[in-house]
Amino acid sequence: MPAFWETKTLEAMTPREWESLCDGCGRCCLHKLRDEATDELSFTNVACRLLDLTTARCRDYANRKRRVPDCIRLTPKIVRKSDWLPPSCAYRLIAEGKPLPPWHPLRSQRAETVVASGASVIGRAVSERDAGPLEHHIAEWPGRRPRRRPAEFA
């Protein structure tokens, strides 16, 4: 029997299925900069103040929108029009009709494969409280597919 993410659209998923798509990489919680003149998007390695940099999880997920008003709550419509979601994001991949990577926890059945793949922000990001100007933290890796392959998928 095919997995739900292989047969359902984002709109048809239950709330539990929707939430399970998040691999917990934390990349969507990194600040991005958009050039007003060119509309060019730049990624940074600076994390939202609610992102726990040791777990890559939001410290207050249920209340994140109240605590960080510009936090974006993903919906299928937002996923389809966003260019700022990382290329390995399951929401983006499903919307584009692409398969989940083998290291995604829904496929590997293990959360640690996200870190092993190089997709996670763990050890790679700095808190916005410590960062200073975002322009000093431009990084290319958040906008790229992870390059490391966990040994079990090599």
Q: Please report, in tens digits, the pLDDT of each residue of the chain (154 residues total).
A: 899 999 999 999 999 999 999 999 999 999 999 999 999 999 999 999 999 999 999 999 999 999 999 999 999 999 999 999 999 999 999 999 999 999 999 999 999 999 999 999 999 999 999 999 999 999 999 999 997 665 665 5
Please tell me the number of Cα atoms within 13 Å of 33 on its side-chain side: 15
CB 119 within 8 A of CB 25: yes
pTM of the predicted model as reported, rounded to 2 decimal places: 0.90
Q: Measuring CA to CA, which residue among 99, 89, 81, 92 is closest to residue 10? A: 92
Q: Using alpha carbons, list the distances in angstroms from residue 50 to 41, 69, 105.
A: 22, 12, 22
Domain edges within the chain = 4-146
